[in-house]
Structure 1
Amino acid sequence: MFKILSTTSLNICIASLCRVKNLKNAEAVLIDGIRVGILPDVVTYNTLIDGYCRLFGIDSGYSVLGRMMEAGIHPNVITYNTLLSCASRYRLLYQSLDIFDEMLQVGILPDVWSYNILMHCFFKVGKPDEAYRVFKDIFLRNIYPSPATFNIMFTGLCKNWYTDNALMLLRNLQRNGFRPELVTYNILIDGLCKSGKWRTVKGLLKEILDYGHIPNAITYTTVMKCCFKNKMFNEGLEIFSEMKAKGYTFDGFAYCTVAGALLRTGRIEEANQCMGNMFRSGIDLDMVCYNTLINLYCKEGKLEDAFGLLDEVEKMGLECDIYTHTILIDGLCKAGNIQGAQRHLKYLNKVGFGTNLVAFNSFIDGLCKLGQIEYAMQVFESMKVKDEFTYSSIVQGLCSAGRFHLAARLLLCCVRSGVRILRSDKKAVIRGLRFTGFGPQAKKVQSNIRLAKLLHY
């Protein structure tokens, strides 16, 4: 009895040291234990394998396995699951398969977690078909799946943009008696929201209630973000009100999401109230919160307050991200302070942010809206990297200046370089050419865009 308790105490000490990443002392405790006659067991070595895997990687974990077998202690399924988890964490698919094969060769039968980890690894490396085969293999081998098995499957399918397949799988499982948990619905709702399938999301929300589940803060926040992403601002704000009425607590991210949506719809006063509620809730502000506040000040035209908040952030030791500076550049442009925006772009390069595409897009957009199209074209030509938003800003600026032929040439250049064009830009160019009496040219531009798309794709 004393020996069992002593080994247990040894394992607790080693586990505690591994948890704080102090493997040197963990090894010292193991040596001291053996010296006084307390022999390690499989749990001891499994704990060490996990510690080495987390801190140094799979090879270090394998070296402990070698020591374990030299000590005459046989590994078990937990040993190999620990190694599998490490390989999966680093997306080492082939090593995961080797570990799985080795487990079978030494006569250790994989359990449901072995299959869960392998399935998760396939998803992480973008192989959903292979993951699904592992999922089917669980049933073929008469292993009872855990709730995590299903959730890994649904999460993996959604993250690999197979949301339709995830929904079909849910329906197939339900026909065989599967009752989804709320967390399962949350996973599916998140995936469907990201795919823009709002109608299906509404159906799942009703289904949650039919199953007797009560939507939680994660459910509501996910749906709320989906509404804002799809520009369904009123629906999103209704969900926010419903959450408040039900007494759910909010984190800073939820408040900032709502405030950001209100700002995009020009409801600055309501955004102010939302941020005020966040302050009164005593939430610790992170960089996302400060970015939202800076954006609010810029929308209100309070640039001095925005830059004052930037100084406050830096004094607190928080690191401003590129979005902070992009918001400020956008605010300076909208205030007509192009020189200030230009100075801030130079400052970004000076402090190590380099040439940032989002910041330059904001600068070009600001120049176009102020009618400084020639300067905007100079900046556009100087940029080495461009995306659809760069082209969109300059095309819309050219259309506003009545220079539809140049805008049409840029659209074609955009398609030929493999960059997606926005429908609104194409419509602005075609409509502009027609209204200025260049109908045949408009048809030719449409035809050329269609041909360029076919040749590229």
Structure 2
Amino acid sequence: MVCWSSTKLLNICIAALCKAQKLEKAEAVLIDGIRLGVLPDVVTYNTLIHAYCCFVSIDAGYSILNRMREAGINPNVISYNSLISGATRKCLLSKSLDLFQEMLQIGIPPDVWSYNNLMHCLFKSGKPDEANQVFKDLLHSNLSPHPASINIMINGLCKNGYTDNALMLYRNLQRHGFVPHIVTYNILIDGLCKARRLGAARRILKELGESGHKPNAITYSTVLKCCFRYRQFEQGLDILSEMRSKGYTFDGFGYCTAIGALVKTEGRLDAAFELLDEIEKEGLECDKYTHTIIIDGLCKSGNIEGAQRHLNFMNRMGFGYNMVAFNCIIDGLCKAGYIDHAMKLFKSMEIKDSVTYTSMMYHLCKAGRFRSASKLLLSCLKGGIDVLKSTRQAVLDGLHYKGFISEARKLQSKIQLARLKR
């Protein structure tokens, strides 16, 4: 007699193979198990349904139901939840509704996740009224909503433009004893920020602080991005200061968000560097992306020397090769009229991408140095590096304009040859 633990081991093996997307091997293990007398159970088939829905198709997952029945195993609510969830990921609303209806017809009562999946699919399909009706059905059933149910509703309402309704739902649930988690706060704050309801977002943020929960990096970045996106710089910095003064756990993520916004939207490099100093005093670190934004801001303000110093600082701090920063400095040098310096830096670069070449060629053409631009374009063709069509045409037009007709023809033929090789 084969013991229960053998089936459990079979399920563990199949689950591991499904997770690794090795469905053929999972099926082979199932067949071998049956040959050895290890019979699958509903968990075995549900694992396969989930995997086929994720990695193949909903129809492939649905076909497992027939195999279950042939084996004398009845599908359960988890079987249908996996199918509805798969249909939701693909935004197949009619399929989700059909599966939900089929589940009811064969006598399988839906659980809270059945309702959650259906609500999520309706919101994704732009049907908030229908999703709200499903939520009401959930409330009128014998089931208790899961915190995820609330989050799906608030997120769906916000994303469909019903931020006021989301806020009303949130308040109504609070009056009935709902205690929101950090995820719920973050969803509502994000929705209010995207609706330009900064004042309401700050009130929810204050409630979060008073709730006993601690704002996390997502909370901070959401509010700060909103402040800087709508040019409320002082409010953004006030929030940053307020959070620090209240002793909330704070990482470099919010600082980096603020620095990036100050540089990109307002060019306020002085304020950005002040924040950078604060990060260092706190023993925190900016990420590579934030330092690159600072370099780009320095270049755009004409401080190329400062940008190069900052790049050297990044190298000393062990950030590694930063091609985007190099591209920013090359563009800044060219715009400042230092084409030769830019070319020298260009040649020193370990790795170059299409942006590097395109930028350099564009500025060479602008300076009337079409033959130099032509040499770079030939390098791109040989290396299989694609550049903008407009840049290629600018090089050809420039050669013609300067009277280098023969070189232009040779370059044109090599461009056509490169296209054929592709």
- 2:302 match: 301
- The CA deviation at 1:154 is 0.2
Per-residue displacement from partner, 1:158-198 (whole Å, max 9, x unpaired)? 11121011112122223333333332222111100111112
CA distance in 2: counterparts of 1:105 and 1:86, whole angstroms:
20
CA distance in 2: counterparts of 1:199 and 1:341, whole angstroms:
46
The yes-or-no answer on 1:87 pairing with 2:106 is no
- The CA deviation at 1:274 is 4.3
- The CA deviation at 1:250 is 2.8
Aligned residues with identical type, % of pairs = 54
Contact 2:6 2:38 in 1 (8 A): yes
- 1:250 match: 251
Comparing 82-91 with 27-36, which one deviates more in the overlay? 27-36
CA distance in 1: counterparts of 2:364 and 2:55, whole angstroms:
40
CA distance in 2: counterparts of 1:70 and 1:352, whole angstroms:
56
CA distance in 2: counterparts of 1:77 and 1:111, whole angstroms:
7
- 1:54 match: 54
CA distance in 2: counterparts of 1:194 and 1:336, whole angstroms:
41
Local SS of the residue matching 1:196? coil
Contact 1:84 1:100 in 2 (8 A): yes
CA distance in 1: counterparts of 2:120 and 2:34, whole angstroms:
38
Amino acid at match of 1:76: N
- 1:194 match: 194
Which ranges in structure 1 are unaligned for 5 or more consecutive residues?
Answer: 357-457
The structure-2 alpha-carbon separation of the partners of 1:143 and 1:237, relative to structure 1 and needing over 3 Å to count, comes to: same
CA distance in 2: counterparts of 1:317 and 1:59, whole angstroms:
47
Comparing 137-146 with 108-117, which one deviates more in the overlay? 137-146
TM-score normalised per structure 2: 0.70
Per-residue displacement from partner, 1:227-257 (whole Å, max 9, x unpaired)? 11221212212322344553634355x3432
Comparing 224-233 with 273-282, which one deviates more in the overlay? 273-282
- 2:348 match: none
Map 1:97-136 → 2, pairs under 5 A:
97-136=97-136
CA distance in 1: counterparts of 2:20 and 2:321, whole angstroms:
26
Map 1:35-434 → 2, pairs under 5 A:
35-244=35-244, 246=247, 248-250=249-251, 254-263=254-263, 264-272=265-273, 274=275, 281=284, 285=288, 288-289=289-290, 291-303=292-304, 331=332, 335=336, 343=362
Contact 2:214 2:248 in 1 (8 A): no
- The CA deviation at 1:97 is 0.7
The structure-2 alpha-carbon separation of the partners of 1:79 and 1:345, relative to structure 1 and needing over 3 Å to count, comes to: farther
- 1:367 match: none
CA distance in 1: counterparts of 2:304 and 2:34, whole angstroms:
67
The structure-2 alpha-carbon separation of the partners of 1:250 and 1:213, relative to structure 1 and needing over 3 Å to count, comes to: closer
Count residues with an aligned counterpart.
346
Contact 1:217 1:243 in 2 (8 A): no
CA distance in 2: counterparts of 1:168 and 1:265, whole angstroms:
35
Superposition RMSD in Å: 3.7
The yes-or-no answer on 1:31 pairing with 2:31 is yes
Local SS of the residue matching 1:73? coil
Per-residue displacement from partner, 1:62-106 (whole Å, max 9, x unpaired)? 122222222221110000000001000010001111111111122
Amino acid at match of 1:35: R
CA distance in 2: counterparts of 1:270 and 1:30, whole angstroms:
63
Per-residue displacement from partner, 1:122-158 (whole Å, max 9, x unpaired)? 1111111111111111122232111111110001111
- The CA deviation at 1:10 is 0.8
CA distance in 1: counterparts of 2:331 and 2:236, whole angstroms:
26
The structure-2 alpha-carbon separation of the partners of 1:206 and 1:340, relative to structure 1 and needing over 3 Å to count, comes to: closer
The structure-2 alpha-carbon separation of the partners of 1:251 and 1:62, relative to structure 1 and needing over 3 Å to count, comes to: farther
The structure-2 alpha-carbon separation of the partners of 1:195 and 1:86, relative to structure 1 and needing over 3 Å to count, comes to: same
- The CA deviation at 1:341 is 8.2
CA distance in 2: counterparts of 1:118 and 1:355, whole angstroms:
47
Local SS of the residue matching 2:241? helix
- 1:387 match: none
- The CA deviation at 1:206 is 3.1
- The CA deviation at 1:292 is 1.3
Local SS of the residue matching 1:180? coil
- The CA deviation at 1:218 is 2.7
Comparing 45-54 with 225-234, which one deviates more in the overlay? 225-234
- The CA deviation at 1:205 is 2.6
Contact 1:217 1:248 in 2 (8 A): no
Local SS of the residue matching 1:29? helix
- The CA deviation at 1:276 is 6.8
The structure-2 alpha-carbon separation of the partners of 1:100 and 1:319, relative to structure 1 and needing over 3 Å to count, comes to: farther
- 1:432 match: none
TM-score normalised per structure 1: 0.66
Local SS of the residue matching 2:190? helix
Amino acid at match of 1:21: Q
